[in-house]
Amino acid sequence: MELCTTKAAIRASVQRWRASDSAPVVLVPTMGYLHAGHMTLVERARARAGAGGRVVASIFVNPTQFGPSEDLATYPRDPDRDTAMLREAGVDALFMPDASEVYAPGAQTIVEPTELSRILIGKLRPGHFRGVATVVTKLFNIIAPDAACFGEKDYQQLCVIRTMVRDLDMAVEVIGVPTVREADGLAMSSRNVRLSAEDRAAAPVLNAALGEAEALAADGVTATRLRAHVRARLEREPRADVQSVDIRDAETLAALSGPLERPAVLLLAVRFGAVLLIDNRVVTP
């Protein structure tokens, strides 16, 4: 695996591959502290790239997607372990730059998603999706992949990226990869390690509430009642500080209230102590 810490180095690797053959290059962007969910993204990338193609992973804890009072400083990091995991998984190149390499002093340009970035998580974390859209655009411009894999756990992020790629005519195929869960149903996340033992034991309530919603949706319950049921289920867990429970059109993220006529997505944001967990489930009427 080639380890590149500069834009010039990763660009040179990709250009060398492109000069030798036309096999696909597939990117897996991450913020590191890898777990089985990330490795599923790598497997999906390998499948998309095919036998002769290349998989590039990036590890960059992007400062511009964290608010001033958020967990940038304490975001978990383990670059040596991450590098070993990616090498073992057969990744062709790892791009792991410093913030100063990615963001030149005096930079003037950002990518600002409009409506989609002001709702849901965007309301709880103003500026978050501007930071995500800007860094993903930069990664696409630096690496020029044919395709890129993103987890469905960050459902709104996936919608923001798909919309950005469509709106800005980016020639990158966006591949959504299903959420990977622990044995007790908790969605895998690098933030899970920061949960206290008590909060870790309580956190599977998110998946339990989503499972109940799935069954209720199949019985024809309205969006409003589904949302109320999930909120009440979460609020019965004393350690869960419910930030938001939303039900939206699964494709457009438009708000829903009446009977479900198309697939809808339930989106949860719940704090356990200082840790904000998110999860979601697409339900069908």
Q: Which lies closer to ligand PAF via its Cβ, residue 30 or residue 179?
A: 30
Contact pattern for ligand PAF over residues 131 through 170, marking x by CB under 6 A: -x--xx-----------------x--x-------------
CB of 134 to ligand PAF, least distance (A): 9
Closest CB to ligand PAF among residues 79, 259: 79
Q: Draw the binding track, 43-62, toward ligand PAF (x: CB under 6 A; -: no contact).
A: -------------------x
Catalytic residue among 35, 38, 128, 229: 38
Smallest gap from Cβ 31 to ligand PAF, in A, equals 4
Site string for ligand PAF, 9-48 (x = CB under 6 A): --------------------xxx-----------------
Q: Which is nearer to ligand PAF, 46 or 125 (CB)?
A: 125
Question: To the nearest whole angstrom, how small is the minimum distance from the Cβ of residue 248 to ligand PAF?
Answer: 19
> What's the closest the beta carbon of residue 60 comes to ligand PAF, in angstroms?
6
Rounded CA-CA distance 5/2 in Å is 10
Active site annotation includes 229: no
Contacting residues toward ligand PAF, per CB under 6 A: 29-31, 62, 65, 132, 135-136, 154, 157
Residue positions annotated with a catalytic role: 38
